[in-house]
Amino acid sequence: MDLPVIQYAKNICEQELRKALAAGKEGGIEIYYQPFVHVGTGQVIGAEALTRWVHPLLGDISPRIFVPLAESNGLVTDLDRYVLTVACQQARKWQDTYGPIRIATNISPHSLQHADFVTVILNVLQETRLPPECLEIELTENIAIRQEHTHSILARLKGLGIKIAIDDFGTGYSSLNYLRVFPVDTLKIDKVFVRDVENSQQEVPITSAIIRLAHELNLQIVAEGVESEEQKNYLLRKDCHVMQGFLFSKPLPADQFERFLQASVHSGSRIGRC
């Protein structure tokens, strides 16, 4: 495809994304929720908020397409703010019915660099009445764009009671350094280390080492991408109890996630504390 055609398509997609963000859910921007489950107790202890864009003509557009596009044209801060607001509003509603539940949202490194980032978080929490300890910010290895600034921002969030998670832990070259520099609460084991843990001679020691490291540092550990009983049982044997993945539930729209919560409560598995 010629470069002018590619650029034209990109410009059209950018315009459509701007309109979608301005319209919110009516523009096709929806938030799905995937539960964190404490397998030992059966408790639903939280959910990760995941963004979906369903275009009226193009259908489902992958986050792998629209998130980089938002980052490249300055829309990602608006996208992060929208997701944060909707997710916190929804978490507050669920708390009023089912008790405390933690909500985790992914934040772009670009949003983190904005001078008013902490103010935005505070305003959202105030507007939605969600307790700070029930919000978890998920960050990836790209957070160290400006290390001193990032540390200052994260320290302020931590001081407010907001939890900090490192997503996809183990996939970056600087992961261990993050634990030394940043005030982290949770490590999320990337799904590449969870996949085929029963069969791989390479990934089993890495997965076990990450779990041991989290326990040594008194951090919570969450395994992503758990899809089989074999994976679940292996993680339990290694003392990892909080999991996320298709074995428990795929990402769900808010109404279906609420039914998942109802089923958990009715089965006797109450929602955990934030």
pLDDT in tens, 253-271: 999 999 998 888 766 666 6
Residue environment code for 223-238, b if the CB has 16+ CB neighbours within 10 A, otherwise e: bbbbebeebbebbeeb
Tally of CA atoms within 13 A in the half-sphere of 126 that contains its CB: 7
Percent of the chain with pLDDT over 90: 49
Instruction: Give me the pLDDT at residue 1, please.
Output: 44
pLDDT in tens, 87-129: 999 999 999 998 889 999 999 888 888 889 999 999 999 999 9
pLDDT in tens, 57-76: 778 888 888 888 888 888 88
pLDDT band at 173 (very low <50, low <70, confident <90, very high): low
- CA separation for the pair 90, 162 (Å, rounded): 17
Amino acid at 264: S
Instruction: Give me the pLDDT at residue 89, please.
Output: 97
Is the CB of residue 194 less than 8 Å from the CB of residue 223? yes
Q: Higher confidence at residue 180 or residue 78?
A: 78
Amino acid at 195: R
Residue environment code for 146-184, b if the CB has 16+ CB neighbours within 10 A, otherwise e: eeeebeebbeebbeeebbbbbbbbbebeebeebbebbeb
Q: Output the six-digit token pair for 165.
A: 């998670």
Three-point CA angle 47, 53, 59, nearest 5°: 130
Instruction: Give me the pLDDT at residue 40, please.
Output: 84
Is the CB of residue 223 less than 8 Å from the CB of residue 239? no
Q: Higher confidence at residue 86 or residue 62?
A: 86
**pLDDT over 90 (residue 149):** no
Instruction: Give me the pLDDT at residue 80, please.
Output: 93
